[in-house]
Amino acid sequence: MPDGDCVGSQLALAHALRALGKEVTLALDDKIPESLFFLDGVRAIAPHTPRAQDVFVFVDGSDPSRYGKAFDAAAIGARPIILIDHHITNEPFGTYNLVDPGAASAAEIVYAVVRALDVPISPALAQALLTGIVTDTLGFRTAATTPETLESATALVRHGGSIPEIIDQVYNRRSFQTLHVLGYALAHAALVGKIIYSALDFQTLEKFGANGNGTNGIVNQLLTVADADIAFFLVEKKDGRIDLSMRARVGTDVSGAARRLGGGGHKQASGATLSPPFETAVQRVLDAIQQESLP
């Protein structure tokens, strides 16, 4: 489930390494959201596992399973792995681990790497990193946003990045079907104590003619309700597994509940992939929150 930070960070790193004369292959074992197709070089990202590399760099995923088939331990063998990540639930599986849970995005860390490498920052590189920063902070609106985040973003705008283009491409170009999915999710939301949630089964998704793309902002909408401290949203996938997205207000931590459910993430934004059946999924999440996230 690659997002703007995941895609932007790896594109930026590729631009930087190529500027240093390195040969770079990019891989992502999942569909890239169409909202990110505006990024330079995005269509060259392959779904397959590269094998002939000297070094493997993994960016913006807390553990090997997050990379799907792009992490192939047997193919990597004894060659070095560099991990660049910012998740609090990170398992430092690299040979070298550059992990900073204080960074609002992986892109912020990659920006520090790019500066340390002293490569020229092209507008394409700047826009890729800025996309990671803008999307992971929801447009500089999350508690993870620090002075360093804003300083990085300022510098990237000076190098040719455009915040209005990112906002327009990522947030203001959804499909008509997606609007109906959002309407359904909001109309069927339930508030239980301080927890607000909604769930979307695959049949309903198909009825709207939607493909599951474009559901990722819905959980943030749920947490706009004043009485809620935690929001979660479930989407049933074609194979019966269920995507869980969780959000928490500052002062509440959903990363433990996500981890308990086999996922991970950040205190304020976490997720997991649940096994079927869909019918029991809400209760499983409520139980995990009860055990991990509520005082």
Instruction: Select the binding partner of residue 15 from ligand AMP, Mn ion, none (C-beta < 5 to 8 A, by kind).
Output: none
**Distance of alpha carbon 112 from alpha carbon 73, whole angstroms:** 28
**Where along the sequence are the contacts to ligand AMP (CB under 6 A)?**
1, 66, 87, 216, 219, 245, 263-266, 269-273
Smallest gap from Cβ 84 to ligand AMP, in A, equals: 14
Instruction: Select the binding partner of residue 2 from Mn ion, ligand AMP, none (C-beta < 5 to 8 A, by kind).
Output: none
Choosing from 5, 72, 229, 243, the residue that interacts with Mn ion (CB under 5 A) is 5
Smallest gap from Cβ 62 to ligand AMP, in A, equals: 6
User: Is the preceding omega at residue 92 within 30 degrees of 0, hence cis?
Assistant: no
- Residue 58 backbone dihedrals phi, psi, to 5 degrees: -115, 130
Radius of gyration over every alpha carbon of the chain, rounded to an integer in angstroms: 19
- Residue 60 is a binding residue for Mn ion (CB under 5 A): yes
The closest of 139, 254, 146, 154 to 195, measured between CA atoms, is 254
Smallest gap from Cβ 266 to ligand AMP, in A, equals: 6
The most distant pair of C-alpha atoms in the chain lies apart, rounded to whole Å, by 56
Q: Please identify, using beta-carbon distances, which residue of 154 and 280 lies nearer to ligand AMP.
A: 280
Q: Please identify, using beta-carbon distances, which residue of 4 and 161 lies nearer to ligand AMP.
A: 4
Q: Please identify, using beta-carbon distances, which residue of 103 and 219 lies nearer to ligand AMP.
A: 219
| Cα 227 to Cα 40, 115, 140, 190, distances in angstroms | 42, 43, 23, 12
> In which residue are the tokens 């990085």 written?
152
Instruction: Select the binding partner of residue 72 from ligand AMP, Mn ion, none (C-beta < 5 to 8 A, by kind).
Output: none
Instruction: Select the binding partner of residue 269 from Mn ion, ligand AMP, none (C-beta < 5 to 8 A, by kind).
Output: ligand AMP
CB burial class (10 A; 0-12, 13-18, 19+) of residue 239?
Answer: exposed
Q: Please identify, using beta-carbon distances, which residue of 8 and 271 lies nearer to ligand AMP.
A: 271
- Residue 108 is a binding residue for Mn ion (CB under 5 A): no
Contact 196, 230 (CB under 8 A): yes
Where along the sequence are the contacts to Mn ion (CB under 5 A)? 5, 60, 106, 136
